[in-house]
Amino acid sequence: MELSSDFIQENQHFLRSCILYEVLQKKPIFDSYRNFCYTVGKDAMEYPDFEFWYYRFYQGDLDLDYDRSADPEPKALVDMPVALMKKITQNLDPVERTRLRTMNHAIKDVSDSFPPVFQKIEVSITDKELLWTLNNKSFSCFKEGSGSIRYKPNSSRYEKSKKFYIKNGLEHLALVQKMPNFQVNHVSVEVYDDTPNDVDLLPAPFNAKSAFILCHNMNQVVKTLSALNPGNLEKINIKMVFSRAPLAHHGRILETVQFKQAKRVDFPMSMEFNVENLANFSHLKSFECHMMSENGIQDVLRIRDIITTFEEFESCELDYMVRSDDFPILVFAEALGEEIRIRPFAEGKHRTITHRYQIPESTECLEFKIKEEEYHCLVNIIKTR
């Protein structure tokens, strides 16, 4: 039962006697303080004062009338020497520094002097939960009615909120993203269901070197891709969930600054490209994509001739199909002038082609390694000297 504030202020001996009782019970200080607050009220005494009396009694000094006014002013956390603050801060990981910087301005300034660099940040969203991982620390936010429940990493402790579960979780992720000089080597965003249009899957810009994006529709892909700062982004891997996007939609990705400044890009089989799209890949060092051919032999030669003009090119893998031919490897063989066994191999065996093409007026070559699959073939092209 909580006591009145007037009674507590007038009976400091009573409060100290309660603390002495907790000490005599040999309970840990945090358990003692929790029990103390439950007994006399949460506002009866601040923890630093409780701690003073607890350890005084614990050391055998049982004077309840001790006058603290003559004691030196207690040191606060902000009174800590800057050198010591830096020593503590540099031994914390980026996630721990995120919490530390919220304590006060002095500690925030010291914490921000160490650029937060994460190895990976992963975000996964379903129709019931949002999970995110910062390095090796996992967070979660679950849908509960119109609100949500958010769990802290490596803990069963949780906080309830009236906010929509996606917004609640992303707001806490944004605290990390907004740290000065925030950087991450790899970011992964996986969305397995449609999300409201007003939800930004990455609420603040990401300085990431590589990104994996798995989304339910093209709007989610473009919105997420646009949140990645193009100056740092080198590799992009995009996949679609249960969707075969129309060819006309691919232009939205190819027009982004992120794609135009990337060095390596992987596209899924659910996204078809044609030979005309290949010119958009001229700035890339490597890429993977699904390519549909309309004109067979003519398209094979166009692929070869277009790639010879790519100055930055190192390698690519094409999942190649011919719309009117069930054996595209035969088309490649004829176009490149290579002989190949016409009769299919036994089950489990695959026809292959290796072909070298000397790039005109150059010491470099394109090496083609082609492997037949059912109704399509995998074409690996490497630039060699």
pLDDT digits (tens, 9 = 90+) for 72-127: 666 655 556 666 666 656 556 655 666 665 555 556 666 565 666 778 889 898 88
CA angle 139, 147, 94 (to 5 degrees): 20
Percentage of the chain beyond pLDDT 70 is 77
Cα→Cα distances 369→25, 187, 323, Å = 78, 32, 21
183 & 281 share domain: no
> What's the mean pLDDT in 125-149?
88
pLDDT of residue 338: 87
pLDDT of residue 301: 94
Cα→Cα distances 364→42, 285, 309, 360, Å = 77, 15, 12, 9
278 & 175 share domain: no
Which pLDDT band, with edges at 50, 70 and 90, does 5 fall under?
Answer: low
pLDDT: is 57 or 73 the higher one? 57
107 & 124 share domain: no
Distance, CA of 329 to CA of 345 (rounded, Å): 13
Q: Is residue 329 part of a domain?
A: yes
287 & 345 share domain: yes
232 & 187 share domain: yes
> C-alpha 218: how far from its chain's center?
19
- Give yes or no for residue 199 having a pLDDT over 80: no
Q: Which domain holds residue 359?
A: 274-385
For residue 385, the domain's CATH number is 3.30.160
Which pLDDT band, with edges at 50, 70 and 90, does 172 fall under?
Answer: confident
pLDDT of residue 295: 85
> C-alpha 351: how far from its chain's center?
40
pLDDT of residue 73: 64
pLDDT of residue 316: 96
Q: Is residue 75 part of a domain?
A: no
259 & 132 share domain: yes
- Give yes or no for residue 357 having a pLDDT over 90: yes
Q: Is residue 138 part of a domain?
A: yes
> What's the mean pLDDT in 329-333?
87
Q: Is residue 303 part of a domain?
A: yes
59 & 187 share domain: no
Which pLDDT band, with edges at 50, 70 and 90, does 1 fall under?
Answer: very low
58 & 145 share domain: no
199 & 311 share domain: no
CB atoms near residue 265 (< 10 Å):
24
> What's the mean pLDDT in 309-333?
87
Burial (CB < 10 A; 0-12, 13-18, 19+), residue 127, is exposed
> What's the mean pLDDT in 156-167?
85
160 & 244 share domain: yes
Give residues with Cβ within 8 angstroms of 340, minimum separation 6: 329, 330, 333, 351, 353
Which pLDDT band, with edges at 50, 70 and 90, does 6 fall under?
Answer: low
pLDDT of residue 350: 77
249 & 309 share domain: no
Lowest-confidence pick of 45-49, 217-221, 289-293, 345-349: 345-349
Structural domains of the chain, count: 4
- Give yes or no for residue 158 having a pLDDT over 70: yes
- Are the beta carbons of 357 and 368 closer than 8 angstroms? yes
> What's the mean pLDDT in 138-157?
84
> What's the mean pLDDT in 292-320?
92
> What's the mean pLDDT in 2-14?
64
pTM above 0.85, yes or no: no
Between helix 105-112 and helix 82-90 the angle, nearest 10°, is 60
pLDDT: is 221 or 271 the higher one? 221
176 & 190 share domain: yes
